[in-house]
Amino acid sequence: MLRHCDTSHFTLWFVSREPLTELQLVLGEQSYGLAEEEVHCIPLGKHAFQYLISLSRPHLLTPNSSIFYRVSAKGIGDIFNGVNGLHYSGADSPHVYFCTELKQVWHGSCRNPHHHSEDALVAADTKLAQLIDGDPQQRPALLMLSGDQVYVDDVAGPMLCAIGQVIEKLGLHHETFSGANISGSESISYQADSLYLRHKTLLPRTEYSAKTALWRWYVNHPIFTSSIAENHLVSLSEMIAQYLLTWSPELWELLDLPKDVDGLSLANKLRWQKEWQNLLAFKAGLTQVRRLMAHIPVYMMFDDHDITDDWNLTTKWEQAAYGHAFSKRIIGNALIAYTLFQGLGNAPRKFNAEVRPKLDAFFNRPEPNTQDALIDILLTFEQWHYTLDTSPKLVVLDTRTRRWRSESNLAKPSGLMDWEALMDLQQALLGQSKVIIVSPAPMFGVKVIEAVQRMATLIGASLLVDAENWMAHPGAANALLSIFMHRKTPEQFVILSGDVHYSFAYDINIRFRRSSPNIYQITCSGIKNQFPEKLLPLFDKLNGWLYGHFSPLNLFTKRKRMSLRGRRPNGERSKRLVNRSGIGILVLADNGEPTKIAVLHGDMSETRFEPPRQE
């Protein structure tokens, strides 16, 4: 997988079944013997070694050109030689292509392997193959994955069995637990009689009464709030195996996953068979997904499901989760896995001082004290966000770990970013004429859904409806809106988001101002997930009726000074929301204004969001 690449940086991530020595990188006509500091190797297990090659040189890569690359090791030669389906158009090695001018960006979020929808990354690979054979200048500059690249909290039964087999085959490390009803990960069973039961038998629970207006009598409730946590992952080895199974076809060929299993209830047998069928379709596309990611720089940011549902949603949740040794370990394990498979490749240098020494110490000596030390570092780390020096400037936000906690009620949703983080964002925007902001949750969402979330919060049920949006916290909402209304902020704002499992696009301006910036909220979700099919059309209609462009109800919202116009998918008159898996395609003019906002679906059809009519 290609990660951070620009004029002076080349970053490549891969996993090998055996340790490699004397690595050499060939970029075009140049060969580089890689020094120790340019190759970060982490022994994930006895037969799994993660490599992150991070090479920095002036004028290393030439923009707007295809540069072939190879990696060789002592006694092996080209380590990618013979990898099935890795190359395009008869080439004998993969190549990197990037642009400092972001003319086209692909983006998306929420890729759930066992969801019944199509995997849009397969369609993206097919699209990229067409562009390479046709006009390479139409290629995207990068692929931005804005959250929920994996679902730690929503795992299919067959996937959990596959994870158990991968742990054994790769010799992934086991760990001991504190505060759990099992001594360690070696005691975890992957047999049929243990599936779909973790929410009852394994996951931690609070040790105090839940004091909400709705359930005062509900005592000792689950800390992890996902409604589908029956197979929630807990150990680090499980999460490592999940990432490998999510991105690569190799391991699937070594697994034995029967369509029918004994020991399940009738309902769970039917559930297994449905998930098994969906996973077969998912597995069939992984060769193409790997090829896509080997040819386009990939950037990522976490959202909640990468760690667990409702991660840091309220202060009360944080107190329960981090105050319990076992739940803290589960969250910490997910953060370690995110760091390994996602975070390190975004901006490798950010992790060198604090994180890498603890990471290396743990994996070279996997013990409870080194694991806890690593988790403590990651839980206080504040450099998950990053920017790219492109045009427009790309600003990727961490909306999960720097929360603005509610001052009035610990059970109310926290703001997605605190005051200091928002001020850092404002500083990053000053002096820019055009910018792309990546916010995992939409900054400007569907108002009627936000109203439902607000009503749920009033009765103490914010965790039930995922009541986290930018407008849920008054301080964060006002600070964010002030940033957009600041007269020195960019003229063109493009906001890329995911999270919500449907897609839409808004054109936004500031009311009562002659020189308003142009703001575009573009949401594409999910890559392989969808909103409940019968519910979203109802919300779409209600939102149009209650909060349409000319509705006076808009004057009673926090965004009353903002004018929002929903774009029509394929020109449909009464529809604004698209409930179908896909990958977002954004094409920009020289001034940063979108000239094309579209979603590419699994069957290669496109939904285009047409600009609103001028009235």
**For residue range 100-141, what is the model confidence (pLDDT) as tens digits?**
999 999 999 999 999 999 999 999 999 999 999 887 778 999
What's the rounded Cα separation, in Å, for the pair 126 and 436?
A: 26
273 lies in a domain?
no
Structure tokens at 15: 């996993």
Determine if the pTM surpasses 0.75. Answer: yes
Answer yes or no: are the C-beta atoms of 493 and 520 closer than 8 Å. yes
Q: What is the pLDDT of residue 440?
A: 97
What's the rounded Cα separation, in Å, for the pair 11 and 4?
A: 5
Could you read off the pLDDT of 317-350 as tens digits, one per residue?
999 999 999 999 999 999 999 999 999 999 999 9
Could you read off the pLDDT of 149-195 as tens digits, one per residue?
999 999 999 999 999 999 999 999 999 999 999 999 999 999 999 99
274 lies in a domain?
no
393 lies in a domain?
yes
Question: What are the two backbone dihedrals, phi and then psi, of residue 106, each rounded to the nearest 5 degrees?
Answer: -105, 145
125 lies in a domain?
yes
For the domain that residue 391 is a member of, what is the CATH number?
Answer: 3.60.21
What percentage of the chain reaches a pLDDT higher than 70?
96
- What range defines the domain where residue 430 resides? 99-147+385-605
Nearest to 543 by CA among 554, 534, 527: 554
**Encoded amino acid at 575, one letter:** K
**Encoded amino acid at 109, one letter:** S
Give Cβ neighbours of residue 460 (< 8 Å, ≥ 6 apart). 212, 213, 214, 215, 411
Strands (E) in 146-288, as ranges, are none
* DSSP secondary structure of 17-85: SS---S-EEEETTEEEEPPGGGEEEEEEETTEEEEEEEEE-TT-S-TTS-EEEEEEETTTEETTTT-TT
Q: What is the pLDDT of residue 513?
A: 79
Nearest to 505 by CA among 517, 520, 526: 520
Q: How many domains does the chain have?
A: 1
360 lies in a domain?
no
540 lies in a domain?
yes
Peptide bond into 526 cis (omega under 30): yes
265 lies in a domain?
no
Answer yes or no: are the C-beta atoms of 469 and 456 closer than 8 Å. no
Nearest to 378 by CA among 398, 396, 392, 394: 398
The count of residues in the chain is 615
377 lies in a domain?
no
Peptide bond into 611 cis (omega under 30): no
